[in-house]
Structure 1
Amino acid sequence: MNADLSRLANYLNPDKKKLAAKGITSVRSRVANLTELLPGITHEQVCQAVTEAFFAHYGERVDAEVISPDKTPDLPNFAETFARQSSWEWNFGQAPAFSHLLDERFTWGGVELHFDVEKGVITRAQAFTDSLNPAPLEALAERLQGCCTARINYRKRAKRC
């Protein structure tokens, strides 16, 4: 509704050739905040519009039912299915192995973090930097090994190094 569009490119990175083929200069040019199009719009109004569109599409009106960990419907096997599909193993345990590279330049130097991940767990982490003091980054890389990628608070781990 009212996102920081300057940060959008950090999250949406489609194939540049695909964008060029479609004559689109960037993802950002295709995105707008709802508040720019309709000043004063509220979250409740958006939810109501989505609900009405759903009813119009399916041709039937029903009462909405809120489902959360605190309030689950009384349906056969629902609690078991909800618990299983909420588990780390269900969401990340079957993830394929992959490698990832994070790189950033700071005033004090550049940093590259290389990760190998298997089943959502960092199996190898390496830090490279041109900083005059590489020890904290090397310690961070050591601390990240064995961590579940979905549960890492990177700032907290970095502060301990």
Structure 2
Amino acid sequence: MNKVIISEEFNPYYNLALEEELLYSVDDEDTILYLWQNEKTVVIGRNQNPWLECNLDYLREEKIYLARRISGGGAVFHDIGNLNFTFITKKKNSNLGKQLEVLKQAISFFEVEISYSGRNDLLADGRKFSGHAFYEDDEYYFHHGTLMFDVDFKYLQKVLTPSKLKMESKGIQSVRSRVINLKELNPHITLENLKEYLINAFENVYGELDSVKAINRASYKPKKFESYEDEKWIYGETPKFDVLVEERTSKGLVQVALQVKDGCIDEVQVYSDLLETLPIEIIKQKIIGQYMDEEVIKNILKQVI
């Protein structure tokens, strides 16, 4: 059966939890088109370092969500000018050609020509408007992605610029691409007609729809909602990496080299050009076990030195 599920929530943790729940409850013959939007959010891939991919200080200042998804790939920015899609089915029924045909037909309603760039991106006018990622687990499969129609690129440029921490990492660094809003090519594109054309195209390609259902927090709460908003998931799945935090005091420069595992600091080395002896053991004691946060580390250094 072919189903459309539309989330009426804009919380990324709710929407990602619902996506995972739909994945693991899909029946053998079902194909689900799940449509969802987030408030301003940076969503990082399963194996990425948030400190490498985005400006965490700016996210905090602007009250922008940070979320981690279960699929791989790069960091992306969502806001309400973006519509997310997910094709959910059993792996035996997955058909990337049909999924891309749905997207192509939907966008063609707006008389916008699109092209494919590898497996992960869709382009219009030579610029990226849609990035994709895939997830498989045993018999389960999904393909999800973004459709940027009216994204605020002011935030996009700032949130995906990492802070100036010096890093060495084994994580996957996102490739920054030239991007475009579909609305630049057709000003008549709206959220509602984009949804409508996606649903129509889904029915054209997959056949008659069994149901179109809207879900919100009042009607349903996904079981993993709290798991997605848990800092241990957001930061704790980070690949191991090294960070050098520098703090210049009136006495000189202090450098703290940090080894981070699962988002927590587990080893510290302290360097300095200060003439006086530093209380290195006290610094280590206060820092080890902390979640990696540049401002917290700098405040500890200011208190101790």
Q: Highest relative contact order (Cα 8 Å, sep 6+), 1 or 2? A: 2
Could you state the TM-score of these two structures normalised by the residue count of structure 2?
A: 0.28
Which one has a larger percent helix, Structure 1 or Structure 2? 1
Could you state the TM-score of these two structures normalised by the residue count of structure 1?
A: 0.49
Which one has a larger percent strand, Structure 1 or Structure 2? 2
